[in-house]
Amino acid sequence: MAECKKCRVHITDDTDRCPFCRCVLEDDGIKGMNVYPDPEATVKVWRNIRRIVLFLSICAMGGMLIALYMGADIFNWTIVVGLILLYVNVTIYMSITDKIGYMFKTLFLTISVVVILIGIDYFTGYNRWSLDYTLPSSVIFLNASCVGLMIINHRNWQSYISLQLFNIAWSIVLFILLRLNIIREPVLVLIAMALSGIIFAGTVIFGGKRATEELKRRFFI
């Protein structure tokens, strides 16, 4: 049976890499001890779920397109449902793949939600709630996610400074949109800006040398 020296877990299947950190496994000399289940079994289940959801999505969109062709007044809802189904399928794929890091997954899925909600707002009358509430809420969510990822991956917390810088840049863009009256509700925008600044300042102040070295590495200083 194999053991990951980094994660301190025993692996019972035939894989040569840890399902958590992808490090090369070493033989621990223990035979027949069922300490950790086969990680591939879970992946296979999710792959089957992804195929089922994809098939049902195609069926649903096919039905709506047929109804649209037959004269039903559902064009806008066809677009909305299509966006939602696309997001669901992408989310399932991103959840089971190990080729993409958690930070990119969080960023990509958050931006996807924003785009979908703006699309729903536009195709259902465009009341601008997607701009007033969804955009600043996305920055608040990304800040909360960043803190959570730093706690979970505390050994490599400094790698999430780039996400913090993205949040600061995005909150500045939102403030500009607020000043241009494109966004009309200031409260969430100001909260998003404050959180972005506080989290980044706290990371730099309490992170010390590791934080400054990461900033130097990012900006080639």
18 alpha carbon, distance to own chain's centre: 22
List Cβ neighbours of 21 (8 Å cut-off, separation of 6 or more).
4, 6, 7
Secondary structure of the chain in the HEC alphabet? CEEECCCCEEECCCCCECCCCCCECEECCCCCCCCCCCHHHHHHHHHHHHHHHHHHHHHHHHHHHHHHHCCCCCHHHHHHHHHHHHHHHHHHHHHHCCCCCHHHHHHHHHHHHHHHHHHHHHHCCCCCHHHHHHHHHHHHHHHHHHHHHHHHCHHHHHHHHHHHHHHHHHHHHHHHHHHCCCCCCHHHHHHHHHHHHHHHHHHHHHHHHHHHHHHHHHHCC
User: For the ranges 8-17, 75-84, 186-195, which has the lowest average pLDDT?
Assistant: 8-17
Instruction: Please state the pTM of the whole predicted model.
Output: 0.70
pLDDT level of residue 33 (50, 70, 90 thresholds): very low
Q: What integer is the mean pLDDT of 206-217?
A: 84
pLDDT level of residue 7 (50, 70, 90 thresholds): confident
Amino acid at 105: K
Distance CA 109, CA 111 (A): 5
4-8, 55-59, 123-127, range with greatest mean pLDDT: 55-59
Q: What integer is the mean pLDDT of 23-41?
A: 55
Mean pLDDT of the chain: 84
User: For the ranges 89-93, 168-172, 178-182, which has the lowest average pLDDT?
Assistant: 89-93
Tokens of 120: 């729903």
8: left (phi over 0), alpha (psi -120 to 50) or beta: left
Tell me, what's the pLDDT at 32? 46
- Contact present, 97 and 47 (Cβ < 8 Å): no
Q: Is the pLDDT of residue 184 over 50?
A: yes
Q: What integer is the mean pLDDT of 141-148?
A: 93
Please choose, from the candidates 42, 38, 41, 44, the residue with its C-alpha nearest in 3D space to the C-alpha of residue 14.
Answer: 38
- Contact present, 191 and 140 (Cβ < 8 Å): yes
